Amino acid sequence: MRVPLTWLLEFAPFPARPGDRPSVTALGQVMDDLGMVVEGIEVAGEGLGDVVVARVLEVGPIPGADRIRRVVVDRGAGEQVEVVCGAWNFGEGDLVPLAPVGAVLPGGFSISRRRMKGVTSNGMLCSGQELRLSDDAEGILVLGGQGVEPGTPLVEALGLDLDVVYDLAIETNRPDALCVAGVARDLAARLRLPFRLPEPPGAPVAGSLPASLEVVATDLCPRFLARVLDVGAVAPTPAWMARRLTLAGMRPIGPVVDTSNYVMLELGQPTHPYDLDRLEGQGLLVRRAEPGERLVTLDRVERVLGSHPRTGDPVDDCLICDAGGRPVGIGGIMGGRSSEIGPATRRVMLEAAWFAPMAVARTSRRLALRTEASVRFERGCDPSGIERALDRICQLLAGEGSGAGEVTGGSPGPTGTGAVVVPGLLEVGAVPPRPPVPLRTARVNAILGTALDDQQVVSYLAPLGFACTPVGPGLAEVEVPGWRPDVEREIDLIEEVARHHGYSKIPRTRPRSPRVGALSGYQRDRRKVRATLVGIGASEAWTSSLLGPLDHERAGLAGPVLEVENPMAREESVLRRSLLPGLLAAVVANTAHQDPEVALFEVGHVFAPRAGGVAPPGGAGAALRSEELVDEREVVALALARDGDDARQAVAAWRALAGTLRLAEPELVAASPPGLHPTRSARLVAGGVELGVVGEVDPSVLEGAGLGGRRVGWLELDLASLLASPRLPEEARPVSRFPSAEFDLAFVVDDAVPASAVEATLRQVAGDLLETVRLFDVYRGEGIAPGRRSLAYRLRLAALDRTLSAEDLGRLRAACVEAVEVAHGGQLRA
Amino acid sequence: MMAGVPLEELRAKALQEVEQAPGLEDLRRVEQEVLGRRSPLTLAHRSLGSLPLDERRDAGARINQVRSEIQEAIEGKRRALEEAERAARLEADRLDLTEVLATWGPGHLHLVTQTRDELEDVFVGMGFAVAEGPEVETDWYNFEALNYPPAHPARAAQDSFYLKVGEPEQVLLRTHTSPMQVRLLLTSELPIYAVMPGRCYRRETADARHRPAFHQIEALVVDRGITFADLAGTIEEFTEAYFGPGIASRLRPGSFPFTEPSGEYEVTCTICRGRGCRTCSGTGWIELGGCGMVDPAVFGNVGIDAEEWSGFAFGFGIDRLVQVRHGLSDMRVLQENDIRFLRQF
């Protein structure tokens, strides 16, 4: 909402003037404090405030100077000023702009007293360019106007009012502030200044109009008033109105439309003029749109109404038609092209209606058509303010001697452009009654933490138009004005009290939680998971949850995905099932930067449709939780793409995680999970539950991603399963006080025998004596038959009660050798 | 004096040899020569017996004095030589610690995670629990229960990604973390002191300050007798705890369907500390987020008596906080996963 200051000043004597910067800023701070956030303050005609009109009295040479002259001007009231000037395009008697000493011109150029060739220059005569009024830098701007007295401010002489425009962000709960009068009312209430709305004289109501009005869809359009004006001899829009419209951000079009817009900006009531002679049957009919009905709106776009564009279901669109039933406008949003006002328009039928907010909002949203009118109607207009708006338009268009009565103020210039109001008013529907809202002072204080009394509460509400009637101690009944459709409940009134009391004046207190704050076990462990992955050198990524439709397939992943109904781009149209596509893309991007040290992990949500998830009908409320339709899980994934990285590093990372979390029985089960290397991957299982996968990314996936020939280690875990899997017991295991002993065993076993199985056998045989067992060498090649390899283990052993003897160790060693031979066909390697 | 060698000469010669011994080995040899069994001094001592008794005592005392003098000199020299040798060994062992070969150290948590963790820790310190929920929500949880009726104008500001599941426009990616408020109000025992971080989505064109996906954190307190003053005080407490001293907060009216009265809150610009700079557009304040008292309609939707219980909520964008704190001109860098960026923090 763009609000010119001079317009605001029509309604209340605010202590701010366009030329007085501090006062302008201070008023803006009051707007901020009331929740009408100032996003910008623009000064129109800035830098011209100090410039006055002067009459040239004398022009003479300066000895020793051939490019500058001495000029004496009358700057008003007979005061003569001597200046030095380098321009030659004027002469004695001309009117010119003078920037006196101390003036600051547009762009911040300030005028000081200077001496040149022995002559004192007490100011500057200005060119059009210096004043930013034209591109002419050649000579002084010579003013042609007659009857302009020296000393007149230049802006006045040129009709350029200095003005300030506040650009305000208005919240959705403040429809009253979508007009200049509403902003002024709020400000005046806070500043305790008298506020005055324009009181246009009522145009004649009695009379039979040459037009008809019928409203069928009274639920979509509960109130509709219309007047007829003869605009055959209408004059152009007055300059003051055109300027205000421009400052407020609207383009002047023609007197009728401009006046309609002006009153909308002033009072908040949108209206729409139709060319009466282009309405079939000389009248209007308001009804629901039939499914598929079409209308070309003022913006030259054909709109389809009455049905949902995707489902084709019928929808409620309020259509304004002519008496013949032909659509001529979309109620509360935009008029149709066929009845547009033009130079040839003789008679105007003026609509001033109140449309149901929700209906306007739905239609506007579906058509993606937001207009000045639709924004106001969907937030809520004042159904009791329609007459005033109509009368105001009549006043501004018809002015004096038009039958609309005398102009009573509220406008800075002459009104009346020659239109004639045809006596008579068409009216359908009444202002809906609004019950008063009870307000308890105790409740105000209980919500705000204040100690206000009844009187203070009333003093904040009354200037806003709320009529408070005390009905008992601490209780009032509040009549809500029509311009506050947002206020329906006690809490809405409390907000108004808070706003006008001032948020900054509310005390600050600190409630105390009765519980100790803490992260959950899951949250603490998730931090450990992140810290462990950081510890092994990986950095955390944040990849998009939305992928392209082929991204999963490209990553070798299959399965149903959740699709976005209304994606912004095809490449962001499905929800990820896995972190693989995203992290792989991140690896590719980093590889493109020639970075050799890419190790990335991510903790994030993945999504899949829930198998068998049946959606109950809409309106299920709390009973239908998204979990029933969508399988959403938090996962952690790691992509290792540093030089030399492969599945081994991924397994090492998994072991680090399992160790940090003290998982009880993590197991690797060889497998070929989708997207992963078919012969270098495994599923991770603990306590019988699958936690995720580890290995390498499928070489063909890597090739497709442009990473052919590289290896990328991969680890992906379901966090909830991981963190819920069994942990080692909390009790500490005693450490032997006797020295440990160790021996190495190397076995030759078939490739098909997992090393983990050999290790398990060793653990079992060594039992309680085992401290650690570590696979320290794997060898294939000379001396070992093809299809077999040598696995070398180092066992550290100790007993709690004695130093293990050579015999103990010998027996144990023999038992290990025998067990591995029996269980796995492993032969001790000499 | 015996053997024709004057004691004084012996002493001087011995001391000189000790002094000149270049190494420990040499010193041992000198020691043997001047104090050993066959040294002139030892011999002189042995020959004392041949002196008359009265002379013997004096001569013995002199010999012993010289002997101990030489012994002391040898000890001193030994210590000096040992120290020199140790110093030489250490010198030979010298290492330039800055010549250590570069290796890649630990990785880096994402800036958003680091910030989220810090925020969580501050709230935990204030007695809050950390609550999390799904990113896919139903329209009821995301909007309707939060007092956004269908076609409410405030919905326009939170354009949603709807999913092709269930009824049309009923399942969506949450547009804020506030549906977690609904979940907590429905399932938690009162009172509630919780903070809710997480990822949200809005169908907005990406620019320097907006991304279709972003992270929010919001706090919810519901207890008996909670007031707007408590809200303002808690925001102040959080601001001080997170940003440190000298950073103040202020509130002004705002509008959210699920809170009333509602507000926007600002904190002292952390870049210029209130003096005014480019980050804060010269105002000295940075808009952080929204806040307000839980709207009675929300309590009604979840079956909580708004006369008995009251509460407040406030929240803000984590990414935005990161952007301001680290002076990121474009939010996009947070999602590019360029390791050259990630490594900086």
Chain A CB within 8 Å of residue B217 CB: no
A540-567 average pLDDT score: 95
Q: Do B134 and A630 touch (CB under 8 A)?
A: yes
* pTM recorded for the entire structure: 0.83
A89-96 average pLDDT score: 89
Could you write out the DSSP letters of every residue in A287-337? EEPPTTEEEEBTTS-EEEESB-TTT--B---EEEEETTS-EEEETTTEEBS
Q: Do B108 and A539 touch (CB under 8 A)?
A: yes
State yes or no: pLDDT of A406 exceeds 50: no
State yes or no: pLDDT of A415 exceeds 80: no
State yes or no: pLDDT of A405 exceeds 50: no
Q: Do A530 and B113 touch (CB under 8 A)?
A: yes
Tokens of A44: 């129109």
pLDDT range class, residue A104, cuts 50, 70, 90: confident
Of A644, A551, A564, A530, which is closest to residue A597 (Cα–Cα)? A644
CA of B330 to nearest chain A CA: how many angstroms apart? Answer: 16
At residue A546, the pLDDT reads 96
Tell me the per-residue pLDDT of A61-74, one tens digit each, with 9 for 90 and over.
898 888 889 999 99
Tell me the per-residue pLDDT of A481-510, one tens digit each, with 9 for 90 and over.
999 999 999 999 999 999 999 999 999 999
Tokens of A624: 């239908």
Which residues on B lie below 8 Å from A168 (Cβ)?
Answer: none
CA of B95 to nearest chain A CA: how many angstroms apart? Answer: 27
A262-269 average pLDDT score: 97
Q: Do A511 and B223 touch (CB under 8 A)?
A: yes
Tell me the per-residue pLDDT of A594-622, one tens digit each, with 9 for 90 and over.
777 899 999 999 999 987 666 555 567 88
Q: What are the boundaries of each domain within chain B?
A: 7-100, 112-342
Selected from 3.10.620.30, 3.40.50.460, 3.30.930.10, 3.90.76.10, the CATH number assigned to the domain covering B112-342 reads: 3.30.930.10
pLDDT range class, residue A199, cuts 50, 70, 90: confident
Specify whether the CB–CB gap between A573 and A549 falls below 8 A.
Answer: yes
CA of A54 to nearest chain B CA: how many angstroms apart? Answer: 38
Q: Do B127 and A512 touch (CB under 8 A)?
A: yes
Which residues on A lie below 8 Å from B254 (Cβ)?
Answer: 35, 171
Could you write out the DSSP letters of every residue in A43-111? EETTT-TT-EEEEEEEEEEETTEEEEEEEEEE-STT-EEEEEE---S--TT-EEEEEETT-EETTTEE-
Which residues on A lie below 8 Å from B310 (Cβ)?
Answer: 446-447
Q: Do A599 and B107 touch (CB under 8 A)?
A: yes
Q: Which of residues 702-761 of A touch B (CB under 8 A)?
A: none
Q: Do A540 and B109 touch (CB under 8 A)?
A: yes
Chain B CB within 8 Å of residue A208 CB: no
CA of B96 to nearest chain A CA: how many angstroms apart? Answer: 26
Q: Do B228 and A538 touch (CB under 8 A)?
A: no
Of B300, B299, B272, which is closest to residue B286 (Cα–Cα)? B272
At residue A132, the pLDDT reads 67
Shortest CB distance from B226 goes to which of A361, A375, A511?
A: A511
A554-569 average pLDDT score: 94
At residue A236, the pLDDT reads 82
Tokens of A521: 């076990």
Tell me the per-residue pLDDT of A434-457, one tens digit each, with 9 for 90 and over.
999 999 999 999 999 999 999 999
State yes or no: pLDDT of A520 exceeds 70: yes
At residue B157, the pLDDT reads 66
Beta strand A539-540 with A599-609 is parallel
Q: Do A630 and B136 touch (CB under 8 A)?
A: yes
3-state helix/strand/coil string of A616-656: CCCCCHHHCCHHHCEEEEEEEEEEECCCCCCHHHHHHHHHH
Q: Which of residues 45-74 of A touch B (CB under 8 A)?
A: none
Mean pLDDT of chain A: 91
Which residues on A lie below 8 Å from B166 (Cβ)?
Answer: 615, 618, 624, 629
State yes or no: pLDDT of A407 exceeds 50: no
Q: Which of B224, B227, B318 to probe the A interface (max A CBs under 10 A)?
A: B227
Q: Do B254 and A35 touch (CB under 8 A)?
A: yes
Which residues on A lie below 8 Å from B201 (Cβ)?
Answer: 545-546
Minimum Cα–Cα distance from B180: chain A residue: A625
Instruction: Give, in degrees to the nearest 5, the angle at Cα A294 between A291 and A297.
Output: 135
pLDDT range class, residue A409, cuts 50, 70, 90: very low
Chain A CB within 8 Å of residue B210 CB: no
Q: What percent of chain A has pLDDT over 90?
A: 73
Rg over alpha carbons for chain A, rounded to the nearest Å, is 41
Q: DSSP character for B51?
A: S
Packing angle, helices A521-535 and A647-661, rounded to 10 = 140
Minimum Cα–Cα distance from A500: chain B residue: B253
Chain A CB within 8 Å of residue B76 CB: no
Q: Do B165 and A361 touch (CB under 8 A)?
A: no
CA of B111 to nearest chain A CA: how many angstroms apart? Answer: 9
Chain B CB within 8 Å of residue A309 CB: no
Chain A CB within 8 Å of residue B106 CB: yes
Shortest CB distance from A593 goes to which of B225, B264, B338?
A: B338
| Sheet-wide strand order for B249-256 | B129-130, B192-201, B213-223, B310-317, B285-294, B259-268, B249-256
Tell me the per-residue pLDDT of A769-822, one tens digit each, with 9 for 90 and over.
999 999 999 999 999 999 999 999 999 999 999 999 999 999 999 999 999 999
Beta strand A163-169 with A2-4 is antiparallel
Chain A CB within 8 Å of residue B241 CB: no
A21-37 average pLDDT score: 95
Beta-carbon-side half-sphere exposure of residue A155 (alpha carbons within 13 Å): 16
Which residues on B lie below 8 Å from A560 (Cβ)?
Answer: none
Minimum Cα–Cα distance from A490: chain B residue: B296
From first to last of the 345 residues of chain B, give the pLDDT tens digit: 444 568 888 899 999 999 999 999 999 999 999 888 888 888 888 888 888 888 888 888 888 999 999 999 999 999 999 999 999 999 999 998 988 888 778 999 999 999 999 999 999 999 999 999 999 999 999 999 999 977 676 676 678 999 998 888 889 999 999 999 999 999 999 999 999 999 999 998 888 777 889 999 999 999 999 999 999 999 999 999 999 888 999 999 999 999 999 999 999 998 888 888 888 888 889 999 999 999 999 999 999 999 999 999 999 999 989 988 888 888 889 999 998 899 888
More confident residue, B331 or A132: B331
Chain A CB within 8 Å of residue B295 CB: yes
Q: Which residues are paired to A82 by β-bridges?
A: A72
At residue B1, the pLDDT reads 45
Q: Do A449 and B230 touch (CB under 8 A)?
A: yes
Q: Round to whole Å and give the CA distance between A520 and A21.
A: 55
